[in-house]
Structure 1
């Protein structure tokens, strides 16, 4: 029996794969939906034992390691950091997803939450599992960040209950930018609804992708995120309306005060002229 262990982490919102690819001697321009694979001689000099190991890198910031130990993962992350400064290595294991493939000719095919059993090992299995894990861990990062924004929104709502709008225009702008970034990440960057190219040419690869996508609930998680993002956008629009109304009220009072001052000055001038 041969086991292949997968560990996926996310190191940012975006990685320049073309820059990394050029460093390893490839001049082919990678499309946004493509990933970069490092294996064999490309890992030589980064990790001591590079056989049976490979690294999948995705544009949307996820990296999937096959058969790597913890210290080996850190070696790769530190190496890539010198190439792509956009990589955030401050807490690389904050978001992690793991999986395992067991290749056993004497066992029947099975797929579970943490591992799958296959009678015959195939290259497409590595590609599909890595893609699913990369999407899942990137989705987890967005889920946690949306929860953080929801907590911030809750504080503002609690202030509204007290009759106070304790949010500045700058904070409103930042909240709106974060929400739009979530929407852009889930749809454009991670491409949760898109299948990798291999699924169109390989029927088994397509079936495996569909099974794992269902197992990791990618579509359901995306829909929940979409509803949360829409709700957040509605809330920020309400806050913006209240903030504009508050500024309008202040402006009206300022105009009234100025008019009052002008009337008082006119009366004083008239009194002294008399």
Structure 2
């Protein structure tokens, strides 16, 4: 298990995106050329190894005097054997009983204005209350909202006073910023005794660059929601290109929030802003997964070229096809390195600096910087190969032109000799 301490990094300037998903043409050409279309998924080590990342509590703004004690408190919590043991107990069997956190990359970008109007129209039927934070729209969204409202109304009529007492006790435990919770009777209390086994009202985070992060829905509800927002997708991805990241989350007051083995631990009373910070990192990760697939398809297309050159000594690709591949690579590099929404800290972190450590912790767990660096290295190798092929074709074309000139000179000499010979024969006659 890999444990990382948590320094608080500085914010970074956000650059404007140059292209939303021009590199999608790369995937289409890959499929046309017969390369494998199966998704490889996010290429991060935390999918396969047990890695613990602590999520710092949002700064309460009391000043820098507390920062030293906070650091030492976090170090103490890292060594908390109870928290580690509880996290290690969570496995595949427990995932079915815990709320889901799922990210989908379904398009190059979303029509945010249309989405906002759509969500506002669902206020009474789905409990929506949409709020926009720069490139992200947040809202609660429950397909059971009307049923819960009806049940709550019936309960009010039965025993209003008892309901008031129940709500007061729940508010004291959960906190004022938390969504409405209900007890989940299906969760085995012995297996998840350290977990607050409540069903949280589903929450949605829609990002302008074509990613949606869903908290607290079932798989069937997620599919239903994706169908609902499909009409707002722009530069829609093919079914084989859609990227997915799966997590589970739970609420506990026993120890510090953390991400371990793709289980997200939240503290009781966490507001939606904490989920927003984590969702930003998850959305960036799933977008990078799309680029990783596109690079893998490009490698699949070009891996046979060096072998052919080594065996035959010839380049069998046309200059036009090589230039098309080079253009695809530049589009991919622009999307990876110059699309600020994917690479840089969101603008929200400037307005809410207390959320920056949480975002950076999630970003570190998802290994975004390392994955982008690896993508650029792989693109450099492919770019060097294509540049070499381009130079080789240019050299071959230069050689052909030289031979054409030589042949023309030879023909001119031959014609001159023929003329001389004709003149000689004519003078003899």
TM-score with structure 1 length normalisation?
Answer: 0.81
Give how far 1:157 is off. Answer: 1.1
Q: 1:9 aligns with which of 101, 104, 108?
A: 104
Q: How far apart are the structure 2 equivalents of 1:84 and 1:137?
A: 16
Structure 2 unaligned blocks of 5 or more:
1-96, 122-131, 147-200
Change (3 A) 1:78 1:116: closer
Structure 1 unaligned blocks of 5 or more:
none
Q: In the alignment, is the contact (CA less than 8 A) between 1:8 and 1:133 conserved in 2?
A: yes
Secondary structure of the corresponding residue to residue 233 of structure 2: coil
Q: 2:296 aligns with which of 129, 147, 152?
A: 147
Which residue of 1 is the match for residue 416 of structure 2?
A: 266
- Structure number with greater CO (CA < 8 Å, separation at least 6) is 2
Change (3 A) 1:257 1:12: farther
1:9-65 per-residue CA deviation (whole Å, 9 max, x = no partner) reads: 212334443454455569xxx89x62233544xx7xxxx436823332223322222
Q: In the alignment, is the contact (CA less than 8 A) between 2:209 and 2:341 conserved in 1?
A: no
Change (3 A) 1:168 1:89: closer
Give how far 1:161 is off. Answer: 0.7
Q: How far apart are the structure 1 equivalents of 2:334 and 2:363?
A: 20
1:118 aligns with 2:260: no
Change (3 A) 1:113 1:185: farther
Give how far 1:231 is off. Answer: 2.8
Change (3 A) 1:22 1:188: farther
1:135 aligns with 2:284: yes
Q: In the alignment, is the contact (CA less than 8 A) between 2:102 and 2:215 conserved in 1?
A: yes
**Which aligned runs of 4 or more in structure 1 are off by greater than 6 angstroms?**
none
Within 5 A, what are the aligned runs for 1:76-95? 76-91=225-240, 94-95=242-243
Secondary structure of the corresponding residue to residue 314 of structure 2: coil
1:95-142 per-residue CA deviation (whole Å, 9 max, x = no partner) reads: 211223311234543331312223222211221221111111111121
Rg (Cα) greater in structure: 2
Q: In the alignment, is the contact (CA less than 8 A) between 1:6 and 1:65 conserved in 2?
A: yes
Change (3 A) 1:149 1:126: same
1:191-223 per-residue CA deviation (whole Å, 9 max, x = no partner) reads: 444112333344542221121111111111121
Q: How far apart are the structure 1 equivalents of 2:314 and 2:352?
A: 59
Number of aligned residue pairs: 262
Q: How far apart are the structure 2 equivalents of 1:18 and 1:245?
A: 52
Which residue of 1 is the match for residue 399 of structure 2?
A: 249
